[in-house]
Structure 1
Amino acid sequence: MLMGEYRNSVDEKGRLLLPSRLRNEIAGSTMILTRGVDKCLWLFPADQWRKISESIMGSSSMFKSKTRLLQRRIIAPAQECEIDKAGRIPISPTLRESAEIKQKGEAVILGIGDYIEIWDVDSYNAYLAESESEFLDAAEELGELLSMSEAK
C-alpha cells in the first residue's frame, strides 16, 4: 500500500525523485502520470490506471459534456513514465504547469493507497488551509460511522 507524505525537489530537467519507500512499493510497475483534481498530479501503476481509464471511457456517451470533460482533463494528458535508475520520474512541462509545480521547485508527494499525488508545496499548503473545516466535518462523520459499526 502506498502511504506517507514526502517532500523532494524537481530538478532543472523537470524530474522528481520519488521516495525509496514508494519506489519499493511500485518496483517493476509501468507508471502513468496524469492531471488530478485540486491542482495536483496523479501517478498510477498501469493496472490501476487501466481500471480508471476504462471506467471513464466506458461510463457514458462521448456526447455528454461531463464525460468529454473528464476524458480531456484526465485521459488525454496521461503519459507513461519510467522511473530512471536514480529513482526519478519525468514530469512534462504541460503537467507541471497544470499543477503549478515549478521547475527547480519543491513538491509534496503523497502515498494515497493505490496511487500517488504530486503537489506544488505552496498549492498543497493552501489546500490544507482551505479545507480544514471540511476535514473536521469529515472526521466527525467518520467517527460517527465507526462508532455505529462498533455498536453492531
Structure 2
Amino acid sequence: MFRGASAINLDTKGRIAIPKRYREPLHAEFNSQIVITVDFQSPCLLLYPFDEWSKIEAKLLLLSDTRATERAMKRLLLGYAHECELDGNGRILLPPPLRQYANLEKRAMLVGQLNKFELWDETAWQKQIEQSRETIQSEEFADNERLADFSL
C-alpha cells in the first residue's frame, strides 16, 4: 500500500526517480512493472502497479463503446496508458504526452493513494490541497452519507 507525499524532480530526459521506500515493494510484489495514465478528473497522472492496472482494464472492458461517456473514459484512460519498468536506479521515463497532460516540467509531487500513486505538478498539487480543504468544509461534504460515520 502506498501512502504519503514525496517531492520529486523530473530530469532533463523526463524521468522521475521513485522514492526508495517504494522501490522494494514495487519490485518484490509487482516485478517493477507500472502502468501510467491520466486522471480524467484532475490534471495529474495515475501510476498503477501492473496487477492493479489489470483490475482497471477488466472494468473498462465492461464499458460500452456505444455510450459516449463510457467510450470517452475508455479512450482517455487506455489511449494515454503507458507501460514501463523501473530501471536499475528506480527511475521511470514519462512520455511527452503524459508530461504535457499534467503540466510536468521540473518539480512534482508523488502521492500515495493506497493502490496507486498520483503524480502532480508541484504548484497544481498545492492548489488542489487548498481546494480539498474547502470541499471538506462544505455543506456537500457534511451531507455525504458515506462519510457520516467516518472518523479519525
TM-score by length of 1: 0.87
How do 1:16-55 residues align onto structure 2 when only pairs under 5 Å count?
16-27=16-27, 28-36=31-39, 37-55=41-59
Counterparts of 2:88 and 2:142, CA distance in 1: 40
Unaligned runs of 5+ in 1: 148-152
- Counterpart of 1:135 in structure 2 is 136
- Counterpart of 1:121 in structure 2 is 122
Structure 1 residue 144: deviation in Å?
3.6
Counterparts of 2:22 and 2:49, CA distance in 1: 12
Work out the percentage of aligned pairs sharing the same amino acid: 29
Counterparts of 1:146 and 1:65, CA distance in 2: 35
Amino acid at match of 1:50: S
How do 1:82-121 residues align onto structure 2 when only pairs under 5 Å count?
82-102=85-105, 105-121=106-122
Are the counterparts in 1 of residues 32 and 86 from structure 2 also a CA contact under 8 Å? no
Structure 1 residue 53: deviation in Å?
1.4
Structure 1 residue 143: deviation in Å?
6.7
Unaligned runs of 5+ in 2: none
- Counterpart of 1:150 in structure 2 is none
Counterparts of 1:5 and 1:32, CA distance in 2: 19
Count of aligned residue pairs for this structure pair: 144
Are the counterparts in 2 of residues 22 and 111 from structure 1 also a CA contact under 8 Å? no
- Following TM superposition, the consecutive aligned residue runs of length 4 or more in structure 1 with deviations greater than 2 angstroms are 135-144
